[in-house]
Structure 1
Amino acid sequence: MSYVIGVDLGTSAVKLLLVNKSGEVVEEISKDYPLIQEKTGYSEQRPEDWVEQTIAGLKDLVDQFDGSVSEIEGMSFSGQMHGLVLLDENNEVLRNAILWNDTRTTKQCQTIYEKIGKEKFIEITKNLALEGFTLPKILWVKENEPELFAKAKTFVLPKDYLRYRLTEALHMEYSDAAGTSLLDIHAKEWSNEICDLLDLDVSICPPLVNSHDNVGKITERVAEATGLSANTDVFAGGADNACGAIGSGILSEGKTFASIGTSGVVLSYESTGDKDYKGKVHYFNHGEEDAYYAMGVTLSAGYSLSWFKDTFAKDQDFQELLEGVGDVPVGSNGLLFTPYLVGERTPHADSQIRGSFIGMDSSHTIKEFARAVLEGITFSLHESIAIFRENGKNIDTVYSIGGGAKNADWLQIQADIFNATIVKLKSEQGPGMGAAMLAAYGSGWYASLKEGADTILEDAETYEPIPENVEKYQNLFRLYQEVYHQTESINQGLMAFRN
């Protein structure tokens, strides 16, 4: 039997999957590491922690494996996007990595628009300049740590640095490069124009490769530390959302997933890189060669539900909290929730907007509140689907993954609000499975990633939209959309009273 390893380098932990040719996960290891938050808005990690915990996880994986390590043919990676790892001329790390959820760079985002022009920037990168992306972080270091920045020879993203440490080969692949704000998305090359206008030497950008490209083998040192064979091939991998798309079979036109974790993502396959969403949604290179995806983000998706439970139903688990929400009518008896607990990303790039319950009265019980939270999260995700449809996409089926796929009532709510068939996969491993599939494809197991997905992935349950619910939700969605505009100025005023 042949095997591959998928390594998913997340924000809180690295997850490793050992997958056989049938697509079965035969071993699974997770190793966590700390987040460094020295100031409000700062979020950093030590790249060395990623390396140490990955090597420890690989060793545990090998120790638990019954077969021969020579049967493990390849390894690939999924990783948290946008994080900045600055390297000197010896590829040594210059400072802690600045992560995707770090928000210190509002000033630098403004600088990007001032020097490049917002329309020109969106034309090249297909995205807005957002605090979470890599380019504003580079500018922040250049402005605030100039002596350190003078030593910088290149930069990579988190999983690229991890891969470098395992192979001693330095690259970045297109799906992660798309989230740096330095890549010309359509041309698939670093933008000299952006670099020139921001006084950056384009040579700071690393060589580009495809996600399935073989970039070498693990070093003898890594082989000795982990027990893996030194002949283990290493493939470039992809950004976490690109790998999540691969691992969910989003590999043909119109295929879409809704992923509800701490944040929420709606991602839809794009066969070309020339569509113009005018920055309303993200538009990135896919992990599949010469393909793309459009993506909308809800910052507080599952987090809204966990916040609600911890605040108002601390003694209940999620199953108890959501028991009976299916008996609450559509619209939660006139109660509406907006999930803007930490601001919002799509379609409102607004760090100051905050959430609200609208329509509360004394008749509402915790069940109405719980259903309103589920509906509000789903409405926020639906704003991305609405943008896709407004731009000509036909979305009639949505694959639901993450926490939102664990509750049958919530899956039906998604079907009714999205007005689409909702599909739950039989086995869902997300980005880690996508990374394993890239290694399998690179190793020649399949003629294409789509063939791999068709072989491995299996639908488990489907939920069809109920026409009368769809009509009610369409009316309620219009009210939901008004809440942002009605509360925007109020929330700006309330910022003065926040700690």
Structure 2
Amino acid sequence: MKYVIGVDLGTSAVKILLVNQNGEVCKEVSKSYPLIIEKSGYSEQNPEEWVKKTTAGLAELVQQFDGDVNDIEGISFSGQMHGLVLIDKNHQVLRNAILWNDTRTTKQCQEIYDVVGKKRLLEVTKNPALEGFTLPKILWVKENEPEIFERASVFLLPKDYLRYRLTGNIHMDYSDAAGTLLLNIAKREWSSEILERFGLSPEFCPPLVESHGFVGTVTAEFALETGLSETTRVFAGGADNACGAIGSGILAEGKTLASIGTSGVVLSYEERNDLDFEGKVHYFNHSEENAYYTMGVTLAAGYSLSWFKDTFAEKEAFGQFLAGIDEVPAGSNGLLFTPYLVGERTPHADSNIRGSFIGIDAAHERKHFARAVLEGITFSLNESIEIFRSSGKVIDSIISIGGGAKNDTWLQMQADVFNAKIEKLTSEQGPGMGAAMLAAYGCGWYPSLKECAEVFIQTAKTYYPIQENVEAYQKLFKIYQQIYSQTKELNEQLREFRK
């Protein structure tokens, strides 16, 4: 039996999967690492932590593997998007990585609009200037840490730096490059126009490769540290959302994914590079060659639920904490929640907005609040689905992965709020499986990712909309959509009191 490894470099941990030719996960290892939060709005990580924990995880996985290590043919990666890693001419890291959820760059986002123009930026990069993207981070370092920026030779994204440490070679794939605001999405090349406008050289950007592209083999040093064979082939990999889409079979027009992790994502496959969503949703290159995807983001999806549990029931398991929510009718007895705990992304790109419970009544119990949190997260994701539908997309079937796929009541709620069939997968491994599939395809196991998906991905259960719930949620959603505009000014006034 032959095997591949999928490495998912997330925000809180690296998850490593050993997958065989039948798409079965044979081994799974996870290693966590810390966030560095120096002040409000800052979010960084030490890239060496990624390398150290991935090395330890791979060594553990190989140690547990009872087959021939030479049968592990390939390895590929999924990675947290947008994070900035700066390295010097000797490929030494110059500072901590600034992560996707860092919001210090509001000033630099405005500068991008001033220099490029909103319309032109959307024409080239298909995306608005948001704090999470990479170019604003580059400009922040250039302005605030000029001595570091002057020593910077090239920038990388998190998984690309990790892969460099495995192979000694520097590359970036199209799906991750699409989240930098430096890539011409349609032409699939670095934008010389945007680089020139900000005084950045073409050499500052890594060579571009396909996500399934072969980029080298494991170095002798890394093979010694992990037990992998030096013949193990390494493939570029992709952005976490693109890999999550591959690992969920989002590989054909109309296929749509709802992924609820720390943040929440609604992602839909696109064959064309010329659609215009006016910047309301993200528009990125897929990890499948010559394909694209559109994506809406809820910044605090699963995070809203974990915050609520940790704040009010820290010692309870999630299953115990959510007990009773199935007894609460749609609408939580008139209680609404907006999941704006850290600001919002889609459709309101607003780093200042904060969450609300609306309609609290003395009759409400904890189970009403818990259900309202789930409904609020789902309403937020539905805003993205409605944007897709208003552009003419037909969305009648959605694959649900992540935390939102672990609870039957929540899955039914998604079917009712989205008014679509919801599919839960048999083995839901998300981005790590997508990375493994890129390695399998790169190794030539299958002639296409679609054919790989037919073997690797199966549906376990399907949830259908319940009409009376659909009708209730459609009324509630209209009320939910009013909360942002009616609390925006209040949150602006409260801002000075936040520490």
TM-score by length of 2: 0.98
Partner of 2:205: 205
Which residue identity lines up with residue 158 of structure 1 in the other structure?
P
**61-70 or 221-230, larger mean C-alpha shift:** 221-230
Q: Take 2:144 and 2:264, find their aligned partners in 1: how far apart are those partners?
A: 32
AA aligned to 1:311 is T
The answer to whether the Cα contact below 8 Å between 2:273 and 2:292 also exists between their aligned partners in 1 is yes
Please identify, of 315-324 and 268-277, the stretch whose mean Cα deviation from structure 2 is larger: 315-324
Distance 2:468 2:232 in 1: 55
Partner of 2:47: 47
Residue of structure 2 in register with 1:112 after alignment? 112
Alignment of structure 1 residues 458-473 onto 2, 5 Å: 458-473=458-473
8 Å CA contact 2:36–2:45 kept in 1: the answer is yes
| Corresponding residue SS for 2:470 | helix
CA displacement, residues 356-392 of structure 1 (integer Å, 9 cap, x when unaligned) = 1111211212222121111111000000000000111
Structure 1 distance, partners of 2:479, 2:397, is: 25
- The code of the aligned residue for 1:412 comes to Q
Which SS does the other structure have where 1:6 is aligned?
strand
Match of 1:406 in 2: 406
Q: Which runs of structure 2 are paired with 1:159-238 in the superposition (5 Å)?
A: 159-238=159-238
Which residue is equivalent to 2:300? Answer: 300
Q: Which runs of 5+ in 2 are unaligned?
A: none
Q: Which residue of 2 aligns with 1:479?
A: 479
Structure 1 position 442 matched with structure 2 position 442: yes
Q: Shift of the alpha carbon at 1:305?
A: 1.3
Deviation at 1:492, TM superposition (A): 0.6
Letter in 2 for 1:238: G
**Deviation of 1:418 (Å):** 0.1
Q: How far did 1:203 drift? A: 2.1
CA contact (8 A) 2:243 2:431 kept: yes
Between 1:111-120 and 1:324-333, the stretch displaced more is 324-333
Q: Could you tell which deviates more after superposition, 409-418 or 223-232?
A: 223-232
Q: What secondary structure sits across from 1:150 in the alignment?
A: helix
C-alpha separation in 2, matches of 1:311 and 1:96: 30
Instruction: Give the distance between the partners of 1:468 and 1:104, measured in 2 at CA.
Output: 44
Counterpart of 2:369 in structure 1 is 369
Amino acid at match of 1:422: I
Show CA shifts across 1:92-139 (max 9, x none): 211111111111111111100000101111111111111111101111
RMSD value, Cα: 1.1
CA pair 139-310 structure 1, distance change in 2 beyond 3 A: same
**Letter in structure 1 aligned against 2:39:** K
Task: State yes or no: 1:37 paired with 2:37.
Answer: yes
Alignment of structure 1 residues 29-178 onto 2, 5 Å = 29-178=29-178
| Mapping 1:303-314, distance limit 5 Å | 303-314=303-314
2:103–2:351 CA contact under 8 A, matched in 1: no
Q: What do the CA deviations read for 1:264-287 (whole angstroms, capped 9, x no partner)?
A: 111111111111111101111101
In 1: Cα distance, 2:50 partner to 2:310 partner: 30
The alpha-carbon deviation at position 475 of structure 1 amounts to 1.1
Which residue does the alignment assign to 1:15? Answer: 15
Q: Who is 1:273 aligned against?
A: 273
Amino acid at match of 2:224: E
> Counterpart of 2:399 in structure 1: which amino acid?
Y
Match of 2:337 in 1: 337
Which residue identity lines up with residue 495 of structure 2 in the other structure?
A: M
- Shift of residue 293, structure 1, vs aligned partner: 0.6
- The CA deviation at 1:315 is 4.5
For residues 163-195 of structure 1, the C-alpha deviation after alignment (integer angstroms, 9 at most, x for no partner) is: 111111110000000001100001100011111
Tell me the matched-pair count. Answer: 499
Q: Tell me how far 1:491 sits from its aligned partner.
A: 0.9
2:429 aligned partner, one-letter code: Q
Question: Higher mean Cα deviation, 83-92 or 247-256?
Answer: 83-92
The equivalent of 2:388 in structure 1 is 388
- C-alpha distance in 2 between matches for 1:125 and 1:374: 33
- Classify the secondary structure of the residue corresponding to 1:30: strand
Q: Is the 8 A contact 2:121 2:128 kept in 1?
A: yes
Which has the higher mean CA deviation after the structures are superposed, 186-195 or 304-313? 304-313
Distance 1:253 1:88 in 2: 42
Aligned-partner Cα distance in 2 for 1:313–1:62: 38
Post-superposition offset of 1:348: 0.2
Number of the residue aligned with 2:356: 356
Say if 1:393 and 1:367 are closer, same or farther in 2 by CA, change over 3 A: same
Unaligned runs of 5+ in 1: none
- AA of the residue aligned to 2:498: R
- 1:242-261 mapped onto 2 (5 Å cutoff): 242-261=242-261
What residue identity is the alignment partner of 1:2?
Answer: K
Structure 1 segments (4+ residues) deviating >4 Å:
none
Residues in 1 aligned to 2:472 and 2:49: alpha-carbon distance in whole angstroms: 50
Provide the secondary structure at the position in 2 that maps to 1:180.
coil
Tell me which amino acid in the other structure corresponds to 1:466.
I
Q: 1:351 is aligned with what amino acid?
A: S
